Amino acid sequence: MKNLLPGLLLLIVLPLTLSAALPVAVDGQALPSLAPMLEKTTPAVVNIATRGKSRRRIEFPIPSNPLFQRFFNVPGIERIQETASLGSGVIVDAKRGLILTNNHVIKDAYQINVTLTDGRELSAEIIGRDPDTDVAVIQVPADNLVQIPMADSGALRVGDFVVAIGNPFGLGQTVTSGIVSALGRSGLGIESIEDFIQTDASINIGNSGGALVNLRGELVGINTAIYGAGNQGSIGIGFAIPINMARGIMQQLVDVGEVRRGRLGAQGQDLTAQLAQAFGINRNNGFIVTQIESGSPADKSGLKVGDVIVTANGKPIRSARDMHNLVGLQRIGQTIELKLFRDGNEVNLPVKIQPIEISKIDGGLLHIKLNGAMIGEIREQHLQRGRVDYLKIMEVRKTSNAWDSGFRAGDIIYSINKQLSRSFEEAFALVEGSSGNMIMSIQRDNRELYIILK
């Protein structure tokens, strides 16, 4: 269980009680029942139990004590804690044993046990996970499994009946029904990329990774979060990842083990009523381009500062978040068809998403103790944090100076001699201005480490 925004709970166990009933037949006719559909679908929904390890930073009680800082020179210590969680998953490929679930269900897990409805317990391995969308794929031995067919979640309508299947509160598999309350929910602060199905089907803590299906027993979403305060449970506002999104993420995770996102290279802000009036546009929402990176896909396509994007691939763009979500879900090489207003005129503009280019140097150019490491200069654009620049160890050759010094691939160089180092230019200046030993602060797997270069 994880607190999100004011009152959002991320799930780790499955869902539901009845919250929206189907129409009832009369005049002696048999009552409608979901039982036939559920007999086919519930064997594909599994329970997931994990054991993991997480790091917890323990701050010292007297970090400001001068003598304490002099002798230890560290802000705190970290402890490794054993964790356990319960969640759900959906078998989507019986032949290969592939199961869709949430990233937060299997995060930090070193042991994953999957329990089927027939009582079998199987050990699973992680194929790939994507924290930005909270999608993960795990795999179990493919032996007499049942899968759920995937629907087109783009065809969902508000008011469609849906059924949630999961393992709420660890009670065992449970089924609840409801309707689609809303589509395209974003801005909730649950994930970096959001495009949720909202439903009133009762979803409770522990339902993460469970199935949201239509009345044909087709998978339309992966249950992910509920809206509520504290531990009060479901209040009729639940969220699921649309299966169209989850399917695209799964394909990349299965193919390459990770999601490789490209970039547009355009920054902007929400269109307001006041700005719309100033731009002479009869609209109250959209995305105004305020900056374009030189040489980026946006630059090459002819996008200009001041353009107001209103749709992309036929989907309305109402805000900067909508644009962020859409670009984040595109595969490298795909083309986005933009509809925008420029100087009051409507313009259609195709933009091809390209890989994020990273400048690299041999670490030996920076310091002899970094010889054998390839350092990348990373520039990222985050919706909440804005632009973030940092240096990252892209790879380290074993038996090299960098390896012997303690550097590993994935390390982020945070500072040199307690001065922030966010670019090659800053790093070279700090190294040249250093006399004697240097202390490098690096971040590794959410830990802060210090490496002394002599």
Active-site residue list: 104, 134, 208
Question: Contact 190/3 with Cβ under 8 angstroms?
Answer: no
Smallest CA-to-CA distance from 199 within 228, 230, 226, 171 is with: 226
- For every residue of 140-199, DSSP letters joined together read ---SS---PPB--GGG--TT-EEEEEE-GGGS--EEEEEEEEEEEE--SSSSSS--EEEE
448/53 Cα distance (integer angstroms) = 17
Question: Contact 34/40 with Cβ under 8 angstroms?
Answer: no
Smallest CA-to-CA distance from 14 within 215, 290, 271, 202 is with: 202
5/19 Cα distance (integer angstroms) = 24
Q: Two tokens at 337?
A: 């068809």
User: How many CB atoms are closer than 10 A to CB 295?
Assistant: 11
At residue 237, what is the residue type? Answer: I
CA distance from start to end of the chain: 45
CA dihedral 33, 39, 45, 48 (to 10 degrees): 110
Smallest CA-to-CA distance from 12 within 64, 69, 89 is with: 89
